[in-house]
């Protein structure tokens, strides 16, 4: 074996790496053909092609520095011993990932999900790993070890080969920036936006497609933030029983015993109302005069909608980040502490998805945000959740009197005018979701006419002015909506992603200070004057309840899983909001609250309720354990 030059040697090593990864993906596909049977031949091919992007990110990350070291136009790089050492290291890296992914293929057979943070959880006990390898996977472990050695030997042989042309050329220095640029692009997987991640690997909007393209190493390497969190606060059977009691309803059935919290509404009357959801950035309850009575004068439109609609006075965000709010609204789940973010791995657990449920009931689905398309990964989150049409700031023309450039993407007025144009032509029934951004810090002013307070991009006065602007744009949007033939058959939902000035602390910090639940209190306004009479509703609820609420009031019979209740279900007697804050969780029933940092319940006047403590542990345990055991929701 010999190579014309060292470039061909590196290229062949790279091709060999891709070939080995492809062979393992084919083996994975053939090992679980029944699972992947939901994919057509074309969809499977697209998923394999998406897998090539996943492999590119891994291979380029592992080997790009080796490329540079092997291709520098310096004499010592031709020394045979130098090339053998680097080539053998290349082989060890590739073989190690293959070994890891073989274990991932075996693991997939148990839970239909790739390895991710499980490695961190069981990796603390090497004895368990060794015992599993010997007792359950002895032959597979032997074969994998042999494969590991063969791969390393193959790369050793490849880089031991003779290079025919060993001359140095000055022009080779020009190749170095190109190699660096190629490596950077391959590692990121994109030319713009957030780097290629788990949620990007879905060639088609099917869980099987994402799983075929992905592998355990990539999920661990590119997944969300993970913590080694103990979710065994209570025995699982007891946790499930307590959760069922807390969400007990005369309307629901649990159709599958193997999915103990999956439920459906029975005898539901189909009511194909349209739904328009507007999620407002950083909109705390204190800023809505109709709710807090602070007389700020910045929300006259929303105050009027609240006073002529349903105003929920005890509604909470489930988290303190936009991604957490969107996760809860789209999936009906509060992201468990230590789990990946939605868009970075959480979607690989079988979840309920609002858009997919809507589509199953004949709804057209539309989502947008006034930030750039990929901001907060909302483009992928919306697609995975079943929103077939999605738009970002890049799609929205300047169409109003705003001045300057907003901090994020487009002005909210541009987004709402764009939403009006889309809803003007959309077919009924429909469900739309729009997420604003102009009230996000720093608070750029859209113009003097909306400045009720001395403006600053950093102070609360700046927020008040941008909130006043957002309120005025909602007024214009609603004026246009009232002219549409679908208006009287439409439910408008106004809420927030989270509160303003949220203090998001690290896990170590939150152990010192319990959650202040007022920092989770947000508005919820449901406005449909031809459907619901005006009323203040004191029912305690949170983002996760929106999925159950829409399922109930629209008459959807499809099963879903969410530790929540319909806000309209009068047969539910126990109400609560379960919230997440860094490495801490809390639970309130509107009268008392409990706070837990996964070491102990934290001191506080309201923190002595044993009933609430047990319910908090039950919710946390049931969510985490059922997700990990793939018993959350039937695919």
Q: What is the DSSP letter of 442?
A: S
The distance between the two most distant Cα atoms of the chain, rounded to a whole number of Å, is 85
Of the segments 66-80, 370-384, 504-518, which one has the largest average pLDDT value? 66-80
> Same domain, yes or no, for 574 and 522?
yes
Burial class (CB in 10 A: 0-12, 13-18, 19+), 538: exposed
The pLDDT of 480-487, averaged and rounded, is 98
At a CB cut-off of 8 Å and minimum separation 6, what does 412 contact?
Answer: 370, 436, 437, 438, 439, 469, 470, 473
Interatomic CA distance for residues 116 and 120, integer angstroms: 8
Alpha carbon of 414 to those of 109, 179, 380: distances in Å? Answer: 48, 41, 22
Q: What is the DSSP letter of 505?
A: -
> Same domain, yes or no, for 302 and 214?
no
- Structure tokens given for 123: 């990796």
The pLDDT of 443-461, averaged and rounded, is 94
Alpha carbon of 521 to those of 512, 541, 577: distances in Å? Answer: 22, 10, 10
List the single range of 4-18, 176-190, 411-425 with lowest mean pLDDT: 176-190
The pLDDT of 45-74, averaged and rounded, is 95
Interatomic CA distance for residues 335 and 339, integer angstroms: 7
DSSP 3-state percent helix, strand, coil across the chain (nearest 5) = 50, 10, 40
End-to-end CA distance of the chain: 50
Q: Does residue 492 register a pLDDT over 60? A: yes
Whose CA is closest to 122, among 598, 628, 477, 536? 628
Alpha carbon of 392 to those of 365, 368, 395, 579: distances in Å? Answer: 15, 6, 6, 29
Q: Do 386 and 355 contact (CB within 8 A), yes or no?
A: yes
Supply the pLDDT for residue 26: 97
> Confidence class of residue 228 from pLDDT cuts 50, 70 and 90?
low
In what helix (H) or strand (E) does residue 430 lie, and over which residues does it extend? strand 430-435
Q: By percentage, how much of the chain surpasses pLDDT 90? A: 71
> Same domain, yes or no, for 343 and 421?
yes
Interatomic CA distance for residues 239 and 533, integer angstroms: 38
Supply the pLDDT for residue 119: 54
Alpha carbon of 93 to those of 35, 237, 529, 576, 596: distances in Å? Answer: 30, 43, 63, 49, 41
Q: Do 359 and 382 contact (CB within 8 A), yes or no?
A: no
> Same domain, yes or no, for 211 and 250?
no
> Same domain, yes or no, for 42 and 128?
yes
- Structure tokens given for 551: 């399922």
Domain annotation covers residue 635: no
Supply the pLDDT for residue 223: 65
Q: Does residue 77 register a pLDDT over 80? A: yes
Domain annotation covers residue 265: no
Omega cis (within 30) before 429:
yes
Q: What is the DSSP letter of 533?
A: -
> Same domain, yes or no, for 187 and 134?
yes
Interatomic CA distance for residues 368 and 390, integer angstroms: 5
Whose CA is closest to 496, among 422, 431, 536, 546? 546
Domain annotation covers residue 266: no
Domain annotation covers residue 534: yes
The pLDDT of 2-6, averaged and rounded, is 92
Domain annotation covers residue 435: yes
**278-308 pLDDT tens trace:** 999 999 999 999 999 999 999 999 999 999 9
Interatomic CA distance for residues 413 and 432, integer angstroms: 17
What is the crossing angle of helices 6-31 and 41-71, to 10°?
150
Supply the pLDDT for residue 225: 52
| CA count, 13 A, side-chain hemisphere, 582 | 18
The pLDDT of 38-65, averaged and rounded, is 95
The pLDDT of 94-115, averaged and rounded, is 85
Of the segments 140-154, 185-199, 311-325, 355-369, which one has the largest average pLDDT value? 355-369
Q: Does residue 577 register a pLDDT over 70? A: yes
Q: By percentage, how much of the chain surpasses pLDDT 70? A: 92
Supply the pLDDT for residue 124: 42
How many other CB atoms sit within 10 Å of the CB of residue 511?
17
Omega cis (within 30) before 442:
yes
Omega cis (within 30) before 37:
no
| CA count, 13 A, side-chain hemisphere, 171 | 0
- Structure tokens given for 315: 């509604």
**420-441 pLDDT tens trace:** 999 999 999 999 999 999 999 8
At a CB cut-off of 8 Å and minimum separation 6, what does 258 contact?
Answer: 631
List the single range of 111-115, 134-138, 207-211, 564-568 with lowest mean pLDDT: 134-138
β pairing state of 490-496 and 274-280:
parallel
Interatomic CA distance for residues 436 and 81, integer angstroms: 59
> Same domain, yes or no, for 462 and 363?
yes
> Same domain, yes or no, for 399 and 444?
yes
Burial 514-528 (b: 16+ CB within 10 A, else e): bbebebbbbbbbbbb
CATH code for the domain in which residue 416 is found: 3.40.720.10
Domain that holds residue 384: 236-259+272-503+514-628
- If one counts the domains in the chain, the total is 2
> Same domain, yes or no, for 289 and 181?
no
Supply the pLDDT for residue 502: 38
Q: Do 572 and 249 contact (CB within 8 A), yes or no?
A: yes
> Same domain, yes or no, for 384 and 530?
yes
Mean confidence (pLDDT) of the chain: 90
Interatomic CA distance for residues 340 and 116, integer angstroms: 8
What sections of 340-496 are H helices per DSSP? 354-360, 378-384, 412-425, 460-481
Supply the pLDDT for residue 136: 57
Supply the pLDDT for residue 126: 44
268 vs 468, which has greater pLDDT? 468
**594-624 pLDDT tens trace:** 888 887 887 554 556 889 999 999 999 999 9
Interatomic CA distance for residues 458 and 504, integer angstroms: 18
> Same domain, yes or no, for 242 and 370?
yes
> Confidence class of residue 197 from pLDDT cuts 50, 70 and 90?
confident
> Confidence class of residue 338 from pLDDT cuts 50, 70 and 90?
confident
Interatomic CA distance for residues 618 and 622, integer angstroms: 6
Domain annotation covers residue 576: yes
Supply the pLDDT for residue 40: 95
The pLDDT of 77-101, averaged and rounded, is 95
> Same domain, yes or no, for 129 and 12?
yes
User: How many residues does this entry show for the chain?
Assistant: 635
List the single range of 107-111, 355-359, 423-427, 482-486 with lowest mean pLDDT: 107-111
Q: Does residue 390 register a pLDDT over 60? A: yes
Interatomic CA distance for residues 64 and 535, integer angstroms: 62
SS3 235: coil
Supply the pLDDT for residue 121: 42
Whose CA is closest to 469, among 492, 488, 443, 498? 443
Tokens 């029975």 correspond to 266
Supply the pLDDT for residue 118: 52
At a CB cut-off of 8 Å and minimum separation 6, what does 320 contact?
Answer: 498, 499, 502, 503, 504, 519, 520, 580, 581
Whose CA is closest to 234, among 627, 613, 633, 631? 613
Interatomic CA distance for residues 58 and 196, integer angstroms: 11
Domain annotation covers residue 200: yes
Q: Does residue 79 register a pLDDT over 60? A: yes
**125-161 pLDDT tens trace:** 444 455 556 655 778 888 989 999 999 999 999 999 9
Alpha carbon of 453 to those of 408, 443, 461, 468, 509: distances in Å? Answer: 22, 12, 6, 10, 34
Domain annotation covers residue 508: no
**503-560 pLDDT tens trace:** 333 333 333 344 567 789 999 999 999 999 999 999 999 999 999 999 999 999 899 9
Q: Does residue 474 register a pLDDT over 50? A: yes
Q: Where in 173-291 does DSSP place strands (E)?
A: 252-253, 264-265, 274-280
β pairing state of 162-163 and 2-3:
parallel
């Amino acid at each position: 074996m010999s190579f014309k030059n060292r470039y061909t040697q590196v290229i062949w090593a790279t091709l060999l790496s891709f070939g080995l990864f492809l062979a393992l993906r084919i083996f994975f596909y053939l090992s679980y053909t029944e699972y992947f049977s939901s994919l057509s031949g074309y969809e499977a091919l697209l998923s394999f092609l998406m897998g090539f992007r996943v492999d590119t990110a891994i291979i380029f990350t592992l080997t790009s520095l080796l490329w540079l070291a092997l291709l520098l136009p310096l004499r010592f790089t031709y020394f045979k011993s130098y090339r053998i050492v680097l080539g053998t290291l290349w082989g060890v890296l590739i073989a190690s990932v293959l070994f890891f992914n073989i274990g991932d293929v075996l693991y997939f057979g148990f839970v239909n999900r790739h390895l991710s943070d499980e490695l961190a959880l069981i990796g603390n006990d090497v004895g368990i790993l060794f015992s599993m390898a010997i007792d359950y996977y002895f032959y597979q472990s032997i074969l994998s070890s042999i494969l590991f050695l063969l791969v390393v030997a193959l790369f050793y042989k490849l880089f031991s080969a003779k290079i025919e042309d060993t001359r140095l050329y000055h022009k080779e220095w020009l190749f170095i920036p190109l190699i660096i640029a190629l490596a950077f692009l391959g590692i990121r997987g994109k030319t713009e936006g957030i780097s290629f991640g788990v949620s990007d690997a879905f060639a088609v909007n099917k869980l099987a497609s994402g799983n075929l393209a992905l592998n355990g190493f990539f999920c661990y390497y590119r997944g969300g933030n993970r913590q080694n969190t103990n979710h065994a606060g209570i025995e699982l059977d007891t946790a499930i029983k307590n959760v069922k009691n807390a969400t007990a309803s005369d309307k629901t059935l649990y159709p599958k015993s193997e999915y103990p919290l999956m439920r459906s509404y029975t005898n539901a009357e189909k009511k194909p109302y349209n739904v328009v959801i507007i999620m407002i950035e950083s909109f705390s309850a204190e800023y809505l005069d109709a709710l807090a009575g602070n007389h700020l004068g910045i929300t006259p439109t929303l105050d009027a909608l609240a006073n002529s609609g349903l105003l929920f006075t005890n509604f909470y965000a489930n988290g303190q980040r936009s991604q957490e709010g969107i996760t809860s609204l789209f999936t009906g789940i509060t992201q468990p502490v230590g789990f990946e973010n939605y868009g970075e791995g959480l979607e690989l657990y079988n979840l309920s998805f609002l858009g997919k449920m809507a589509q199953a009931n004949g709804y057209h689905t539309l989502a947008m945000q006034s930030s750039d398309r990929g901001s907060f990964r909302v483009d992928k989150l919306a697609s995975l959740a079943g929103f077939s049409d999605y738009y970002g700031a890049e799609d929205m023309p300047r169409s109003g009197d705003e001045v300057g450039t907003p901090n994020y993407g487009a002005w909210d007025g541009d987004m709402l005018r764009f939403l009006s144009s889309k809803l003007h032509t959309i077919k009924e029934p429909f469900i739309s979701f729009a997420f604003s951004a102009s009230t996000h810090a720093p608070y750029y002013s859209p113009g003097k006419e909306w400045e009720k307070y001395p403006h600053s991009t950093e102070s609360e006065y700046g927020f008040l002015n941008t909130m006043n602007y957002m309120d005025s744009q909602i007024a214009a949007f609603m004026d246009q909506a009232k002219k549409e033939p679908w208006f009287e058959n439409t439910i408008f939902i106004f809420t927030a992603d989270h509160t303003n000035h949220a203090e998001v602390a690290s896990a170590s910090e939150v152990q010192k200070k319990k959650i202040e639940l007022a920092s989770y209190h947000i508005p919820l306004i449901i406005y449909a004057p031809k459907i619901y009479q005006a009323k203040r509703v004191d029912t305690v609820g949170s983002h996760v309840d929106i999925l159950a609420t829409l399922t109930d009031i629209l008459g959807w019979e499809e099963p879903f899983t969410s530790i929540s209740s319909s806000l309209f279900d009068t047969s539910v007697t126990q109400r609560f909001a379960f919230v997440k804050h860094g490495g801490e969780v809390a639970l309130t029933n509107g009268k008392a609250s409990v706070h837990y940092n996964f070491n102990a319940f934290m001191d506080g006047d309201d923190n002595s309720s044993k009933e609430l403590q047990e319910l908090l542990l039950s919710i946390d345990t049931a969510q985490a354990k059922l997700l990990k055991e793939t018993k959350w929701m039937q695919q």
